[in-house]
Amino acid sequence: MSGERISVAQAHRLARMNIVAGFLVWGIALAGVSMMMPVMYNSILESMHWTIGETTRFMAIKSATSALGGLVAGSLLVRVGAKRVLVPSIFVIGIATSLLYFAKSLPFYYALAAVSGVCSVWSVIAIQVTLARWYSASLGRMTGFAMLGGALAGFVVPMSTRMGVTHWGWHATAGVAGLVVLVLVGLSISLLVHETPEAYGYTADELDPGKARPGGAPADPGEDFASFRKTPQFWMLILATALSGVISNGINEYIPLFIEKHTALGATAAALGFTIVMLISGLGKILFGWVFDRLSTRGVALCWALCGVAALATFPMGMKGALPLVGYATFLAFTILRGVSHGGVIVQAPVLARHIYGVRALPQVISLLTAAFHLGAAAGIVAIGAGVDKTGGFTLPFIVVACVAFVAAGIGWQFHPRHWAGQQAAAKA
């Protein structure tokens, strides 16, 4: 421990400040901006005369460049530090979102998506690594609390975006959102983020030991990244995480379009449905954070399986001739399943990284997991869009999504979380 030791109360206060920072980052700069796009797609389609595939490719490109950015994020974080990556990235996200006001052509539209994608993934990884350095036994729950910002965004962003698009158009709505990110989030995280507890004389295991590790027992920091990066388990973890991007973010991009165009529920219900999904995802983050702290990787596998169930739950909504009451009942069931499972997927990366490989290689593992997730999301967005354009509906694409979810769950069930506090407690018993 290199830093001068402060009081435990002060250290816990700094840890909580990181949670507040994460709340703002996820709620406004990341989830908030991402949630706007699906709600604006129909307006973009109509005003710009682009196809569904061309319009939704914005998030596909954003996810693809996020994957590329994730490949270099680990070494970047090790070299310059999490805060020096996080703060400039947030400012760039704000600028890129504001510049959507001037988007009149596909190349410019796609260029902003690419820049935003790289900086978004750097922001995600930086805040996840920071939280994983400050928390141990309760990492899943604390990450869930930080990500509740996304739930708040889910409550506010879709309906406010719908109102903004209706009154001012999608260009102005995006421009205002970018200014909010630039000013509010950028300045706040500059003051809130503290990188490591070691700088203040503590380790995460001292501040958050839980009940599994006896007092005074040293924590195993885990192996060097080079020692496991070529192992089968690591690459199966990368594959499963990529598949989780397909089944979560890939399908989220199409919820408003699916409800608006392929059910009898209408445009307002489409925006409301997306709002409910993102709002309930806050419950999912806390619920699955709790599950991950108790079941570790098997809890993650269960979350992936639930994503498959949610995809199958879309079919009753699109049934022709169904009574209105049936349509709204199935709509509610779908939004609950999709929201809870989405919340769990968002929390998974720091839990998988720390529980399986420990603290030492956190930047590299979280970076690659995040890259894999966004690569899967990009592939899912493109594949679903192409499938809808080719078949004229969502039936076949959503069946494939469900199958992918169950395959990912089967892979995840086999992981061995050697550095999970619960696994260590069982080994000592």
Q: Which residue has the higher pLDDT, 218 or 405?
A: 405
Residue 2 within any structural domain of the chain: no
Please indicate, yes or no, if residue 239 is contained in any of the structural domains.
yes
With 80 as the cut, is the pLDDT of residue 373 above it?
A: yes
pLDDT above 60 for 215: no
163 located within any domain = yes
Percent of the chain having pLDDT more than 70? 88
1 within a domain of the structure (yes/no)? no
Q: Are 242 and 372 in contact (CB under 8 A)?
A: yes
Spatial separation of the C-alpha atoms in residues 231 and 425, rounded to whole Å: 25
Residue 358, beta-bridge partner list: 222
> pLDDT: is 334 or 84 the higher one?
84
The band of 381, judged by pLDDT with boundaries at 50, 70 and 90, is: confident
What mean pLDDT do residues 105-115 have?
A: 94
| Cα separation, 164 vs 166, whole angstroms | 5
Q: Where are the alpha helices (DSSP H) in 25-81?
A: 31-48, 52-80
pLDDT at 321: 47
Number of structural domains the chain divides into: 1
Two structure tokens written together for 363: 């930047």
Show the 3-state SS of 335-349.
HHHHHHHHHHHHHHH
Q: Are the beta carbons of 285 and 151 closer than 8 angstroms? A: yes
Top-confidence range, 48-62, 65-79, 109-123, 130-144: 109-123
Question: Rounded to an integer, what distance in angstroms lies between the CA atom of residue 152 and that of residue 137?
Answer: 26
Cα distance between residue 63 and residue 59, in whole Å = 6
Q: Highest-confidence range of 115-119, 268-272, 277-281, by mean pLDDT?
A: 115-119
Residue 257 has pLDDT above 50, yes or no: yes
Q: Residue 411: pLDDT band by 50, 70, 90 thresholds?
A: very high
pTM score, whole prediction: 0.75
- Residue 268 has what pLDDT? 66
Is residue 3 one of the residues assigned to a domain? no
Where in the sequence is the domain holding 373, given as residue range(s)?
Answer: 8-210+219-428
Q: What is the per-residue pLDDT for 322? A: 47
Rounded CA-CA distance 113/249 in Å is 15
The domain spanning residue 373 has which CATH number?
1.20.1250.20
Pairwise CA distance, residues 162 & 180, whole Å: 17
| 291-329 pLDDT tens trace | 998 899 999 999 999 999 988 887 766 555 444 445 677
Q: Is 267 helix (H, G, I), strand (E, B) or coil?
A: helix
**Which range among 94-98, 133-137, 221-225, 288-292 has the greatest average pLDDT?**
94-98
Distances (CA, A) of 180 to 31, 112, 170: 13, 17, 16
Q: Is 348 within the bounds of a domain? A: yes
Average pLDDT over the chain, rounded to whole? Answer: 84
What CA–CA distance (Å, rounded) separates 103 from 236?
40
Q: Is residue 358 part of a domain?
A: yes
How many Å apart are CA 361 and CA 350, to the nearest integer?
11
pLDDT at 148: 82
Residue 111 lies in a domain: yes
Summarize the confidence of residues 63-83 as an average pLDDT. Answer: 87
Q: Is 213's pLDDT higher than 70?
A: no
> 233: which 2 tokens?
């388990």
